[in-house]
Amino acid sequence: MQKMILALVLLITMEASAQNDKYTQVMLKNIALLDSAKSIDELQSLAGNFERIGDAEKTKWLPYYYAALAQTWVGWSPATKDKDANAAKIKAYLDKAEAIEKNAELYAVENMAATQQMLMDPQTRWATNGKDASVALQNGLKIDPNNPRLYYLQGMSLFNTPPQFGGGKDKAKPVFQKSLDLYKSATPQPLAPKWGQKQTEDMLAQCQ
Amino acid sequence: MKPKMIGDKMTVLLTALFFLTGLFFTGGLAAQTTVSGTVKDPKGHPVRGASISIKDSYDGAVSDSLGAFHFSSADKGTFTISVSNIGYNPYEQPITLGGGPVVLHFVIKEQLSELKAVTITAGSFTAGDAKRGAVLSSLDVATTAGSNADITAALKTLPGAQQVGEQEGLFVRGGAGYEAKQYIDGTLVNNPYYSSVPDIAQRGRFSPFLFKGTVFSTGGYSALYGQALSSVVLLESIDLPEKSEVDASISPIVLGVGTQQLSSNKRSSYGFSYNYVNVGLYFKAVKQIPDYFQMPQFHNGDANFRIKTKNGGIIKYYTTFAYSNLGLRRQDWDSLNYKDAFSLTNHNWYNNLSWREYLNNGWKMDLGASYSTNLDNIGQQLQDAFNRPKSFADSIFWMNGKQFGIDQRQDLSQIKAVFDKKLGGISSIRFGSEYMYAYNYQKFRSPVYPTMDSMYKFKDNFNAVFAESDIFLTNELAAKLGVRYEHSSVINKSDIAPRVSLAYKTGPEAQVSLAYGIFYQKPENSQLFYTTNVGFTKATHYIINYQKMSKDRIFRLEAYYKKYEDLIKTVPVNYFYSTFNNSGSGYAKGIELFWRDKKTIKDFDYWVSYSYLDTKRDYLNYTAQLMPSFAATHTASLVMKKFFTKIKSGVNLTYSYATGRPYYNFMLNNGAGGTKYNLAESGKTKDFNALNFSAEYVPGIGKAKAKSFLVLFASVSNVLGYNAVYGYNFSYSGLYKQAIVPPANRFYFIGCFISWGVDRSQDAINNNL
């Protein structure tokens, strides 16, 4: 009898971990696809996959985070003309994620979405979208002052601002360096965001 | 052994369980249901990026660029499949899985969206920083060469406005200056300009930096506004400032200090400023044609507070007080031996209180109240070569007629309420009412004929109710229908003014708009002093507009026809006294073009305006329908702005051109038919040209977190020194005419603006990056 109980307990825990495993497996598979995705349709479809995982799981922010991230990669594509509409999609995913947990990684995506909108017309959007982007960055750094991706984004903003307006390579370089140091010392969890180290290294090379 | 046995059994059991659990999540693999299909909009265009999902499962797909999708699911039974995409109405339907492949063709409808929807642009130029469709920002106003930060002067570079240099005001599409009105936060401004000086245009009282948005309507405007036959300028004041700051302006002409204080919770602010303008030094350095015996000086003070309310509304109060005086002598046009001496003292106090609040259920409320009082003390005298007063015999009464004193006051109190309700989607209705109480008097004194001393005054209770609705049939087609009822007690007349406009989007950036409306306006104070037995003047507008607007370029083409009825006509009684009736009439028609381009050349922004105007009117002392003396057939402006990032400086050039304007001499004759005007002489002035230049140096650009911020500004109006002639003043005899010319050929300005506590460079970047 004891054995039967033991067996049942085992069965139940295994079933539960199998469920978890299913989530982990599906997430890992989609994250791998996201890392290799090239076309807008692929990214778009991955954003949809992550959203469905999030909707089914209901208590996990990571699927929505990755949905937002995939949508952000769509936004960086020059083929995506209407960044406002794309940013609205990113925002919708972020809202769902933030309802579960508000953290620095989400602010990093928010920063990119606002930056994409700002770049459509920097002259007039500096004060609105540009401000949103910098507020998101500041908020993120408040929560997690050691997030390498936030420093990478801060570096990008400085790198792309003309020296006359307080930006430039010289200003960006130490920020990229700090970002890279943080990447090197980080030990990310299996599903946690880990993108950005390669980009930071590339940018740092450009600052030399 | 026992343990081994147990171990063996366990292994078997575990293996069995493993298979079992394995079956739980892989068992369905054999019986996958494929779901495929398309997502399209009602017009049959594929919708890309729509998310199709089986609710509460991982299964689903995203539509591709052809609108197609495909996925498989292991589930069996009845589920809900949903289709969603930002900007579209979501769609759900039941789906049965497990019974073979499912093919579904979804049609989803685009949501009506304010960002995508068409806006009505006929007759209206929206200027502002935030609004889409912005044509000019407040920095554009400041950096338009020749404007010297005067809103009206900058608006004159837009099509529809005439280049009138001898009178303040906007002369729009065959309309006189007083037929254009200014509103701040919804309420009418009674004295938007500094008090008139004969033949010298005065500036507007309000700085462009007070406002976040400006709409310059050249016709066909909303039913929320009235009492302007040709045009309204709608100014919306800024909300809370971004930071606390102290600022100062220093120039040989003006000295000013001011502050804005933002509360630490960023929910409220207050501010005040003062400036003193004295052109004495400047007039000593730069010769003026008139001889100023009292150098123009202006004291201006203002104060404000702004409070954000809980629901995102805002309460704003702004008050400004101004005192000014000046005195100047010019050659008299009846006799070369004498001079006309004109003096003016003005007191003006303006108050505006507004409250915008968002109520429940999509209601929005805008309340506004304002009070203003304006007092002018005017003196007019004939002086001899030694600047001594001179009087004449009764037989040359027209000379004595040029000696008088006038004290006049205009008070206006008003309240206005507008309620706005969103009707499902983005359509909305709004309605409201306004009430104005005006008190005006004019005291006339004649030192020569004491019997002519008189006091004219009247009060007016003016009411209006209005309703308007914005109807969006689709994102491509919108209509605005409005009606306005007005009643004025002083003339005891009412009117009903309908307004209709339509807009249709013809392409992603292009649209066509139509506008029609009837506009009424009360006769002017100077007429109502003499008779109240008059009615509203009336104009009917028909406008068609085509606009193509992308991020950095705007192209507009507009044609219009305007019909004037019941214009005020002067009925002369004798040389000194006239009465008025509504027997005037007229028309205006024209074509206007606007092109602005910030894209073609980097850091270079330019716009071109052209107006063709064909107008005639029979009004005041005109003897027939004639082209009015403020109208030019062709008017054009070219405005250019270039910013040099390296040297942190910008240069701006404006070239304005207008063909000659007609001038008339209407002489009063006592003939057989009684006292009436005859057209004694008419002609056309030469063409008008002006090239204006300004430059700014902004050393603080890009210095992040700078404690102070400096702007150096310099400008020269009419660089080439072109001799403008605006018209002629005729002698009593009609034998001599004196050209109306600007007081000096060129105007120079140099100034320095400093602010502490806030980095204004953001503004400069916005404008010039």
Helix (H, G, I), strand (E, B) or coil at A90: helix
DSSP state of B177: G
- Angle B351-B354-B357 from CA coordinates, rounded to 5°: 170
Whether the CB of B6 is below 8 Å from some CB of chain A: the reply is: yes
Based on the fold, state whether residues B91 and B70 are members of the same structural domain: yes
Based on the fold, state whether residues B76 and B186 are members of the same structural domain: no
- pLDDT confidence tier of residue A10, bands split at 50, 70 and 90: low
What are the counts of helices (DSSP H) followed by strands (DSSP E) for chain B? 7, 38
pLDDT at B156 over 80: yes
Interchain pair A88, B765: CB under 8 A? no
- Note the pLDDT tens digit of each residue in B195-245: 999 999 999 999 988 888 788 889 889 999 999 999 999 888 988 887 788
Chain B CB contacts of A47 below 8 Å: 51, 62
Phi first, then psi: what are they for B735, rounded to 5°? -90, -20
Interchain pair A3, B6: CB under 8 A? yes
- Note the pLDDT tens digit of each residue in A43-63: 988 999 999 999 888 899 999
Helix (H, G, I), strand (E, B) or coil at B261: strand
**Which one has a higher pLDDT value, B534 or B764?**
B534
Based on the fold, state whether residues B558 and B533 are members of the same structural domain: yes
Domain span including residue B88: 32-107
Spatial separation of the C-alpha atoms in residues A104 and B205, rounded to whole Å = 49
The tokens for B448 are 């020569």
Interchain pair B24, A22: CB under 8 A? no
Spatial separation of the C-alpha atoms in residues A134 and A125, rounded to whole Å = 13
Spatial separation of the C-alpha atoms in residues A35 and A117, rounded to whole Å = 24
Provide the shortest C-alpha distance from residue B62 to chain A (in Å): 5
Spatial separation of the C-alpha atoms in residues B68 and B34, rounded to whole Å = 13
Based on the fold, state whether residues B427 and B454 are members of the same structural domain: yes
- Angle B345-B575-B395 from CA coordinates, rounded to 5°: 100
Provide the shortest C-alpha distance from residue B509 to chain A (in Å): 13
Q: Residue for token digits 């005001």?
A: B169
Interchain pair A44, B48: CB under 8 A? yes
Tell me the whole-structure pTM to 2 decimals. 0.79
Chain B residues 29-88 within an 8 A CB cutoff of chain A: 48-49, 51-53, 55-62, 64-65, 86-87
Which residues lie across from B461 on neighbouring strands? Answer: B437
Based on the fold, state whether residues B75 and B194 are members of the same structural domain: no
What is the arithmetic mean of pLDDT over A105-128?
87
Spatial separation of the C-alpha atoms in residues B702 and B712, rounded to whole Å = 16
Chain B CB contacts of A118 below 8 Å: none
Chain B residues 12-31 within an 8 A CB cutoff of chain A: 13-14, 17-18, 20-21, 24-25
Least confident of A107-116, A180-189, B156-165: A180-189
What is the arithmetic mean of pLDDT over B343-359?
96
Q: What is the pLDDT of residue B3?
A: 46
pLDDT at B669 over 90: no
Q: What is the pLDDT of residue B149?
A: 86
- pLDDT confidence tier of residue B765, bands split at 50, 70 and 90: very low
- Note the pLDDT tens digit of each residue in B604-647: 999 999 999 999 999 999 999 999 999 999 999 999 999 887 88
Contact B119, B478 (CB under 8 A): yes
Interchain pair B551, A120: CB under 8 A? yes
Is residue B115 one of the residues assigned to a domain? Answer: no
Spatial separation of the C-alpha atoms in residues B384 and B367, rounded to whole Å = 55
Provide the shortest C-alpha distance from residue A102 to chain B (in Å): 23
Spatial separation of the C-alpha atoms in residues B685 and B723, rounded to whole Å = 12
Q: What is the pLDDT of residue B24?
A: 44
Chain B CB contacts of A51 below 8 Å: 51, 53
Contact B177, B565 (CB under 8 A): no
What is the arithmetic mean of pLDDT over B27-51?
81
Based on the fold, state whether residues B179 and B311 are members of the same structural domain: yes
Interchain pair A89, B57: CB under 8 A? no
Interchain pair B702, A55: CB under 8 A? no
Interchain pair A164, B13: CB under 8 A? no
Which residues lie across from B487 on neighbouring strands? Answer: B463, B494
For chain A, the structural domain boundaries read 38-141, 146-208
CATH assignment at residue B545: 2.40.170.20
The tokens for B86 are 């930002």
Contact B700, B765 (CB under 8 A): no
Residue of A nearest to B86 (CA): A89
Chain A CB contacts of B551 below 8 Å: 120-121
Of the candidates B20, B61, B701, the beta carbon closest to that of A45 is on B61
Based on the fold, state whether residues B217 and B323 are members of the same structural domain: yes
pLDDT at B131 over 60: no
Spatial separation of the C-alpha atoms in residues B597 and B549, rounded to whole Å = 10
pLDDT at B442 over 50: yes
pLDDT at B265 over 90: no
**Which one has a higher pLDDT value, B133 or B757?**
B757
Interchain pair B86, A88: CB under 8 A? yes
Residue of A nearest to B765 (CA): A123
Measuring CA to CA, which residue among B678, B683, B677 is closest to residue B664?
A: B683
Interchain pair B55, A121: CB under 8 A? no
Report the percent of chain A where pLDDT is more than 70. Answer: 89
Is residue B113 one of the residues assigned to a domain? Answer: no
Based on the fold, state whether residues B460 and B497 are members of the same structural domain: yes
Spatial separation of the C-alpha atoms in residues B757 and B761, rounded to whole Å = 12
Chain A CB contacts of B56 below 8 Å: 55-56
Q: Which helix (H) or strand (E) holds B749?
A: strand B747-756
Whether the CB of B110 is below 8 Å from some CB of chain A: the reply is: no
Spatial separation of the C-alpha atoms in residues B470 and B427, rounded to whole Å = 5
- pLDDT confidence tier of residue B766, bands split at 50, 70 and 90: very low
DSSP character string of A125-171: HIIIIIHHHHHHHHHHHHH-TT-HHHHHHHHHHHHHS-GGGT-SHHH
Provide the shortest C-alpha distance from residue B288 to chain A (in Å): 41
Residue of B nearest to A93 (CA): B86
Contact B680, B734 (CB under 8 A): yes
What is the arithmetic mean of pLDDT over B154-164?
92
- pLDDT confidence tier of residue B452, bands split at 50, 70 and 90: confident
Of the candidates B24, B57, B645, the beta carbon closest to that of A15 is on B24
pLDDT at B675 over 90: no
- pLDDT confidence tier of residue B318, bands split at 50, 70 and 90: very high
**Phi-psi category of residue B172: left, alpha or beta, with phi > 0 → left and psi -120 to 50 → alpha:** beta
The tokens for A41 are 């349709």
Domain count, chain B: 3
Interchain pair A7, B17: CB under 8 A? yes
Q: Which residues of A touch B (CB under 8 A)?
A: 3, 7, 10-11, 14-15, 18, 22, 26, 40-41, 44-45, 47-49, 51-53, 55-56, 84-85, 88-89, 92, 120-124, 126-128, 162-167
Contact A160, A166 (CB under 8 A): no
What is the arithmetic mean of pLDDT over B429-452?
93
Measuring CA to CA, which residue among A119, A112, A70, A67 is closest to residue A92?
A: A67
Measuring CA to CA, which residue among B365, B368, B367, B345 is closest to residue B357?
A: B365
Based on the fold, state whether residues B68 and B2 are members of the same structural domain: no
Q: Which helix (H) or strand (E) holds B481?
A: strand B477-488
Based on the fold, state whether residues B130 and B103 are members of the same structural domain: no
- pLDDT confidence tier of residue B584, bands split at 50, 70 and 90: very high
Residue B450 makes CB contacts below 8 A (sequence gap 6+) with none
Based on the fold, state whether residues B212 and B142 are members of the same structural domain: yes
The tokens for B13 are 């059991």
Residue of B nearest to A30 (CA): B58
Based on the fold, state whether residues B63 and B191 are members of the same structural domain: no
Interchain pair A44, B49: CB under 8 A? yes
pLDDT at B495 over 60: yes
pLDDT at B182 over 80: yes
Measuring CA to CA, which residue among B374, B5, B61 is closest to residue B189?
A: B374
* B5 residue type, one letter: M
What is the arithmetic mean of pLDDT over B337-353?
96
- Note the pLDDT tens digit of each residue in B266-283: 899 999 999 999 999 999
Contact B354, B371 (CB under 8 A): no
Chain A CB contacts of B115 below 8 Å: 84
What is the arithmetic mean of pLDDT over B351-380?
94
Interchain pair B58, A166: CB under 8 A? no
Spatial separation of the C-alpha atoms in residues B38 and B68, rounded to whole Å = 4
DSSP state of B452: G
Interchain pair A52, B58: CB under 8 A? yes
Provide the shortest C-alpha distance from residue B766 to chain A (in Å): 4
Spatial separation of the C-alpha atoms in residues A45 and A40, rounded to whole Å = 8
What is the arithmetic mean of pLDDT over B333-362?
94
Most confident of the following: B51-65, B97-111, B399-413: B399-413
Contact B382, B399 (CB under 8 A): yes
CA B179 to chain centre: 15
Residue of B nearest to A88 (CA): B86
Spatial separation of the C-alpha atoms in residues B62 and B738, rounded to whole Å = 78
What is the arithmetic mean of pLDDT over B365-376?
97
What are the counts of helices (DSSP H) followed by strands (DSSP E) for chain A? 10, 0
Q: What is the pLDDT of residue B1?
A: 39
Spatial separation of the C-alpha atoms in residues B317 and A151, rounded to whole Å = 43
Is residue B79 one of the residues assigned to a domain? Answer: yes
Whether the CB of B768 is below 8 Å from some CB of chain A: the reply is: yes
Chain A CB contacts of B701 below 8 Å: 164-165
Interchain pair B701, A41: CB under 8 A? no
Mean pLDDT of chain B: 88
pLDDT at B134 over 50: no
Chain B CB contacts of A89 below 8 Å: 49, 86
Contact A66, A57 (CB under 8 A): no
Of the candidates B10, B57, B87, the beta carbon closest to that of A85 is on B87
CATH assignment at residue B76: 2.60.40.1120
Among B131, B212, B766, the strongest candidate for a mutation testing the A interface, having the largest count of A CBs within 10 A, is B766
Chain A CB contacts of B10 below 8 Å: 3
Chain A CB contacts of B61 below 8 Å: 45, 48
Measuring CA to CA, which residue among A128, A148, A196 is closest to residue B129?
A: A128
Of the candidates B53, B56, B58, the beta carbon closest to that of A26 is on B58
pLDDT at B12 over 90: no
* B38 residue type, one letter: T
Is residue B250 one of the residues assigned to a domain? Answer: no
Q: What is the pLDDT of residue A19?
A: 58
Whether the CB of B103 is below 8 Å from some CB of chain A: the reply is: no
Interchain pair B551, A121: CB under 8 A? yes
Spatial separation of the C-alpha atoms in residues B359 and B292, rounded to whole Å = 56
Provide the shortest C-alpha distance from residue A86 to chain B (in Å): 9
DSSP state of B549: E
pLDDT at B11 over 60: no
- pLDDT confidence tier of residue B90, bands split at 50, 70 and 90: confident
A131-140 in b/e form (b: 16+ CB < 10 A) is ebbbebbebb
Is residue B117 one of the residues assigned to a domain? Answer: no
Contact B284, B322 (CB under 8 A): no
- Note the pLDDT tens digit of each residue in B75-87: 888 999 999 887 8
Chain A CB contacts of B135 below 8 Å: none
Q: What is the pLDDT of residue B490?
A: 96
Q: What is the pLDDT of residue B544?
A: 94
Interchain pair A126, B648: CB under 8 A? no
pLDDT at B355 over 80: yes
Report the percent of chain B where pLDDT is more than 70. Answer: 90
Residue A87 makes CB contacts below 8 A (sequence gap 6+) with A75, A113, A114, A116, A117
Contact B473, B425 (CB under 8 A): no
- pLDDT confidence tier of residue B758, bands split at 50, 70 and 90: low
Q: Residue for token digits 């309309």?
A: B175
Spatial separation of the C-alpha atoms in residues B702 and B718, rounded to whole Å = 33
